[in-house]
Amino acid sequence: MAFPERFSNLPEYAFPRLRALLDHHQPGGAPIAMSIGEPRHDVPAFLADVLNQHLDGFAKYPTNEGNAALLAAIQGWIARRYSVDIAPEQLMVLNGTREGLFNAALALCPESKRGAVPVILTPNPFYQVYAVAAMAVGAEPVYVPATDSTGYLPRYTALAPDLLDRVAIAYLCSPGNPQGAVADAQYWRDLIALAERHDFRIFADECYSEIYRDTPPPGVLQIAQDMGADPERVLSFHSLSKRSNLPGLRSGFVAGGPESIRRVRQLRAYAGSPVPETLQHVAASAWNDEAHVNRSRALYQQKYALADRIFAGVPSYKGPEAGFFLWLPVADGEAAALKLWRETGIRVLPGAYLARDDAQGNPGRGFIRVAMVTPIDELEDALRRLRNCLYK
């Protein structure tokens, strides 16, 4: 029996790899999960009433593109957050950002570019759906280093013009996963200008946009509007998973040019799974409220300060600008993760699992990713144990 070859070079996903590395060893203490970016702050309590009020929505097939209440709530949030007016036809409701980041590539990546196989750019390290999207559409994935020397953001502007002419899509996560770097306004302007010059789309993964130290990260929609860029040039992906501590709700959206969104909607009408109507009402209420977001952000800001104190003096430590991951330098990420598990019970992710080898090796190999998602008292104990184990 034949099987497709297009995914044959796809490595095991990060978390099965982690289980294979750790699970046949006994933990050295009470297990503390810091490997997955699953927020543990409180779910907004007022959403329980919204859920109960709309339980009858589970008896209906959902609206594919999003119901009127949810689209209006998203429009309002984008206007408040970015001072950008988005029409309903420029929005598509998603089951979180991951399926949108994948399906948008299926809907929008052309079969060829300049008579050749199209290229999809991705930072390296990166969120793994970018790579599988490129493989699914038959594009050539090009992994661009996002390391300390580049400010943990990929330098797409430094790529060769002939390569850029073949680019169909460039993924960019800001704030970044795993390093927490933020693309400032000038970075976005340069990338948008590059996309205009070489005729490609930008897929901006902005799901960590509401978790930051002091200054709200600029968004691709506002920068594109300020530049007068073609609205079809950029797509922005957001979700409630991190913003509202609702990873299990599986609710997000993509915003972009009307023709791009029309094509995403059309494909998703055939092959997507709409968000249940009940959950769309819950999501609308979450987008309409900022108080719970502000409370959650304040907790993360306490966590930044805590990590900065605990890791003060650790060579090459850099606290994240935004998001909730620490990207900690170690000699070898797998060895460090195994040592931590066996000696302390702390579970973290080797950085190499989030990257691909390039000419200089794997840019994630000398790091571990630590998710600061646990309650702050538990986090303080875990980070101190981590430092004492790895940075004596």
CATH of the domain at 366: 3.90.1150.10
User: Which is nearest to 311 in space by CA: 386, 216, 369, 377?
Assistant: 386
Q: Answer yes or no: are the C-beta atoms of 265 and 271 closer than 8 Å.
A: no
Please give the pLDDT value at position 179. Answer: 97
Residue 1 has pLDDT above 90, yes or no: no
Q: What percent of the chain has pLDDT over 70?
A: 100
- 221, 370: one domain: no
Residue 358 has pLDDT above 90, yes or no: no
- Shortest CA distance to 197 belongs to which of 224, 171, 170, 164? 164
pLDDT at 10 over 90: no
Residue type, 105: A
Q: Assess whether 296 and 337 both reside in one domain.
A: yes
* Angle at the Cα of 222 from the Cα atoms of 217 and 225, rounded to 5 degrees: 160
Q: Are residues 146 and 197 in the same domain?
A: yes
Are 156 and 191 members of one domain? yes
| 221 close to 78: Cβ distance less than 8 angstroms | yes
Whether 18 is covered by a domain: the verdict is yes
Q: Are residues 184 and 246 in the same domain?
A: yes
Residue 274 lies in a domain: yes
Q: Based on the domain organization, do 314 and 385 belong to the same domain?
A: yes
Residue 163: predicted pLDDT: 98
In a domain, 303, yes or no: yes
Total number of domains in the chain: 2
Structural domain of residue 381, as residue ranges?
14-42+292-390
Domain boundary among 264, 289, 314: 289
Are residues 362 and 231 part of one domain?
A: no
- 2 band by pLDDT with thresholds 50, 70 and 90: confident
- Of 289, 319, 350, the domain-final residue: 289
What pLDDT score does 35 carry?
A: 96
Residue 24 confidence class, pLDDT cut points 50, 70, 90: very high
Q: Are 250 and 329 members of one domain?
A: no
Statement: the pTM of the whole predicted model exceeds 0.95: yes
pLDDT band at 11 (very low <50, low <70, confident <90, very high): confident
Last residue of a domain, one of 248, 267, 289: 289
Residue 55 belongs to a domain? no
Beta strands in the chain (DSSP E): 32-33, 91-94, 119-124, 140-145, 167-173, 201-205, 234-239, 252-256, 325-329, 346-347, 349-350, 367-371
Same domain assignment for residues 271 and 304: no
